[in-house]
Structure 1
Amino acid sequence: MKVLFATDGSRYAEYAEQLMMGLFPSSLVDLSIVSVCPASDLRPIDFDFPPDVLQSVSECRDHTKDLVANAANRMNTWAKSAGTKVLEGHTAQEILKEIDETHPDVCVIGSHGRSAVDRFFLGSVSDKISKHAHASMLLARPHNEDYQSTQCHRILIADDGSRLASRAIIRFAERPSNTKSEIQLVSIVPDFRASAFGRGVDGQELIDEAIAVHKERHKEFTELLAPNAASVTSVVEVGHNVANDIVHRADEFNADLIILGGNEKSTLNRMLLGSVSTSVLHHAHCSVWIERPHHSDATEQA
């Protein structure tokens, strides 16, 4: 598995390191560690910059180099391979460019808490990555702000019946792990009765059919997940707000990690799936894995 880890040296990034190392055995991971320096190298520019500006830029670049080097030192005994790179420019844009160039399976970043500034960072960086990256994303957020607990003892998997949800489930079912987690499969069936009213469609019949389909999927995935899990439970229920219901279920389950599928390429899917995954990303009280279309998907379809 190719992992791109974006660090800013904060405690959130350090938590992401520990979470990542707990989720995946070292033998699986080819790791690339990046950090974004907002100040570009000014030396090639033909302009007489003040010495203090040049000094500040130099210190920023040196600090960023130290960040990735220190992270590599902490993780080089865990990862199968570990490389480092300093990026320059706008954080989200540079990470997205690096994803397009290196084609990782997942990009890992740390959440920056829940203050107004932190929510702005989340919206401007992880939100853009979750929507536009050709890679899955793991947003590391400690459950109940407990930075000491980095093991995923309880994992909630939100299954919407999509290809990406199936791929995420298979990925985690096949993941070797020293820790057997409690897993809860959750499917929220939209309440079709209101939308079907007046259209000559039996909304309750649509609900019953959807519930039956999801229950059958859960049976298959429970068998797949069970060998490497402490337990697997299944919840299929009708809801009015899928994202809110997923977050509520995760809170009730005391989940350390939520796994769900992200948006596909079509406009409709971006509106529906994208809005759900983005809303869960913003409001969950734990880490979130969003399974996204990968670069290889486009290659296979070409």
Structure 2
Amino acid sequence: MYDRILVPTDGSENAEAAARYGRWLADAFDATVHILSVVNISTYTDQLADIDEVNRERRTALEERAKEAVTGVEEILDRTSEIPYESVIEHGTPYEVILNYVSENDIELTVMGSHGRGGLDRLLLGSVTERVVRMSDAPVMAVPPTRIDQEAVECDSILIPTDGSAAAEAAVTRGIAIADQLEASVHVLYVIVSGRGLPSVSDPARTEAERVVRSVADKAEQREIEVQTHVQAGSPYGNIRNFISNRGIDLVTMGTHGRSGVKRYLLGSVTEKTLRTSDAPVLAVRLTKSE
């Protein structure tokens, strides 16, 4: 499923945590890793006519930092099995360079930290990661800072939230494929938006929820994957967040938009909130025209 995995890096601890996940997935899928560091042109002005010594020194410092960032990821990949990789340093606006690289190199998965050198206080909103998740046709795995101290990556349980939408189904396909490859169990969760508890079994909303989770479970069982289904009532984001924490979930796979419509993309959605706060990595899958 994944032959080419991109690991962007800015040298931060969170980026290196993402690199370990990239190494883990590359090993599982026999993939090649592409390491990319971007020298942000917005932090120096020598692309303009006015070039001075200060800007040249700033550019040189940023290029050195990019080289160090790439070397750090290369060392992570070299610590275990022989994973093939390619390294590149480019100049530009980080999210634009990443998106272009994904498109031009047929990248099938991007693995990146949800926070970079900008600091944890910014969360995900407005960050490079959020923009890449919003706009990339290829899936993006956002690895949270909670995984910084995790040297060995493990994945025993995968959560697949679904609302039955086409975007959710795209994430289902990838979640089941990863579970199959890694021999992980799957939890399928459907949250009925309700402040009055779970509807009765005869309620149409409950019937639809049960149908959707059963459909996902059937796909998992066809691959002999251990699967459990869950139908809950409440706030989708709140229930997903609690499920991740209470069940010790190792990975979440979600579509970037659901029944509320494609136009909203990620902003303000359940997926965006989950990406901001999840203790587990989140694989965000954007519905493409071909799906």
Structures share fold, TM-score greater than 0.5:
yes
**1:34/1:84 contact within 8 Å kept:** yes
Structure 2 residues without counterparts, runs of 5 or longer = 197-201
Look up the match of 1:85. Answer: 88
Aligned equivalents of 1:90, 1:43: Cα separation in 2:
14
What amino acid sits opposite 1:221 in the alignment? K
Look up the match of 1:137. Answer: 140
SS in 1 for 2:18: helix
Aligned equivalents of 2:29, 2:265: Cα separation in 1:
36
SS in 2 for 1:104: coil
* Structure showing greater Rg: 1
**1:6/1:35 contact within 8 Å kept:** yes
What amino acid sits opposite 2:150 in the alignment? Y
- Report the alpha carbon displacement of residue 90 of structure 1 after superposing the two structures with TM: 2.7
Look up the match of 1:233. Answer: 228
**1:5/1:109 contact within 8 Å kept:** yes
What amino acid sits opposite 2:279 in the alignment? H
Look up the match of 2:59. Answer: 57
Q: 1:232–1:268: structure 2 CA closer, same or farther, 3 Å change rule? A: closer
Look up the match of 1:109. Answer: 112
**1:126/1:139 contact within 8 Å kept:** yes
Q: TM-score, normalised by structure 1?
A: 0.78
Look up the match of 2:171. Answer: 168
Q: Is the aligned partner of 1:154 residue 2:157? A: yes
Q: 1:48–1:161: structure 2 CA closer, same or farther, 3 Å change rule? A: closer
**1:261/1:273 contact within 8 Å kept:** no
SS in 1 for 2:119: helix
Look up the match of 1:205. Answer: 203
Q: Of the candidates 274, 281, 289, which is equivalent to residue 287 of structure 1?
A: 281
Look up the match of 2:215. Answer: 217
Structure 1 residues without counterparts, runs of 5 or longer = 194-203
Aligned equivalents of 2:30, 2:144: Cα separation in 1:
23
Q: Which has the higher helix share?
A: 1
SS in 2 for 1:174: helix
Aligned equivalents of 1:188, 1:209: Cα separation in 2:
13
How high is the sequence identity, in percent, across the aligned residues? 20
Matches within 5 A, 1:38-77: 38-39=40-41, 47=50, 49-50=52-53, 52-75=54-77
Q: Of the candidates 163, 186, 191, which is equivalent to residue 189 of structure 2?
A: 186
Q: 1:100–1:121: structure 2 CA closer, same or farther, 3 Å change rule? A: farther
Q: 1:109–1:290: structure 2 CA closer, same or farther, 3 Å change rule? A: same
Q: Of the candidates 79, 95, 98, which is equivalent to residue 95 of structure 1?
A: 98
**1:148-206 Cα distance to aligned partner (Å, 9 max, x none):** 4521233211122233433333334334878533331111123399xxxxxxxxxx733
Name whichever of 176-185 and 59-68 sits farther off.
176-185
Aligned equivalents of 1:79, 1:134: Cα separation in 2:
29
Q: Is the aligned partner of 1:8 residue 2:10? A: yes
Q: 1:143–1:234: structure 2 CA closer, same or farther, 3 Å change rule? A: farther
Q: 1:161–1:54: structure 2 CA closer, same or farther, 3 Å change rule? A: same
Aligned equivalents of 1:25, 1:56: Cα separation in 2:
37
Q: TM-score, normalised by structure 2?
A: 0.80
Aligned equivalents of 1:144, 1:63: Cα separation in 2:
23
